[in-house]
Amino acid sequence: MELFDYTVHELIEKLEKQEITSEEIVRSYYDRIKEKEETLRNDEYIVKMMKEKGMNDFGGMSLDELEERIAKNKEYLKTAKSPQKESLSDDDVKRIQDKIKTQSETSKPKSSLPQKTEIKEQGNSNRLAVKENIQAHILEFYDDPQDFIDTMDNMSHLSSDWKRGEEIAKGGTYLLYNQDMADFLDELKINPKGKKFSEDKAYEMYTSLIGRESANLYKRLKNKK
């Protein structure tokens, strides 16, 4: 028995028991629709040919039988892309949506790119989060991670990846104003005892951190390829 033969409520039950996945349901209906569409195209061609040549049967099927099958397949295709074999309550719809969302999130591969997170506590205990936030900050200024790699490659005259990243920051690719740099550093909560960065100190610290994490990010992305 194919998945498209089950009722909607039977499919919900199978989803909840994890006997099937939402992807398997979609694939089953997709394959069925393609099969029906192909049969419909063939039947319509045959019927047209039969009428032109005055034939009453073809391949063991009469003209009336073929036309009846065409009508049934057309009716099936009208509703097949949104199968509703039984009426669904709002709760049923929500259960399906929640189940599909859960399965999708579970099966979806985790992004290997750095992600920004809110840093709530001050101090050195957030080193990993700080590194991730700085790397995510860098990538915000590029349409694609490859653009960042290309920019670093174009600075190959410098002796180290850290220096390349630092020079890119000093060249104005990222934040331009010292106050914006200070605000960004304050969000990282890396200054001891919650002190704020002055504009004078912010430039030096910002470009240095960008240089360091550019080197780490460059290596990370190159290893991923």
> What's the predicted TM-score (pTM) here?
0.49
pLDDT number for residue 84: 47
Average pLDDT of span 159-176? 91
Q: Report yes or no on 119 lying in a domain.
A: no
Q: Residues 27, 75: one domain? A: yes
pLDDT number for residue 83: 45
pLDDT number for residue 92: 59
Reduce the DSSP state of residue 86 to 3 states and report it: coil
Q: Residues 131, 198: one domain? A: yes
pLDDT number for residue 58: 83
Q: Residues 97, 33: one domain? A: yes
Q: Residues 12, 83: one domain? A: yes
Taking 60 as the threshold, does the pLDDT of residue 79 lie above it? yes
Which range (33-42, 61-70, 106-115, 181-190) has the least confidence?
106-115
Taking 90 as the threshold, does the pLDDT of residue 134 lie above it? yes
Average pLDDT of span 211-221? 94
Higher pLDDT, 85 or 21: 21
Residue 73: which domain range?
Answer: 3-107
Taking 70 as the threshold, does the pLDDT of residue 98 lie above it? no
pLDDT in tens, 106-124: 544 445 677 777 766 655 5
Q: Residues 178, 146: one domain? A: yes
78's tokens: 């009208």
| Domains held by the chain: number | 2
Residues near 218 by beta carbon (within 8 Å), at least 6 away in sequence? 148, 149, 152, 161, 164, 165
The CA distance from 198 to 77, in Å, is: 67
Q: Residues 144, 197: one domain? A: yes
Residues near 128 by beta carbon (within 8 Å), at least 6 away in sequence? none
What are the CA-CA distances from residue 165 to residues 18, 20, 57, 159 (Å)? 48, 48, 76, 11
Q: How confident is the model at residue 103 (pLDDT cuts 50, 70, 90)?
A: low
pLDDT number for residue 210: 96
Average pLDDT of span 65-74? 91
What's the mean pLDDT when you consider all of the chain? Answer: 80
Q: Of 74, 107, 140, which one is at a domain's C-terminal end?
A: 107
Extended beta strands in the chain, E state = 57-58, 61-62
Average pLDDT of span 147-171? 92
Q: Report yes or no on 115 lying in a domain.
A: no
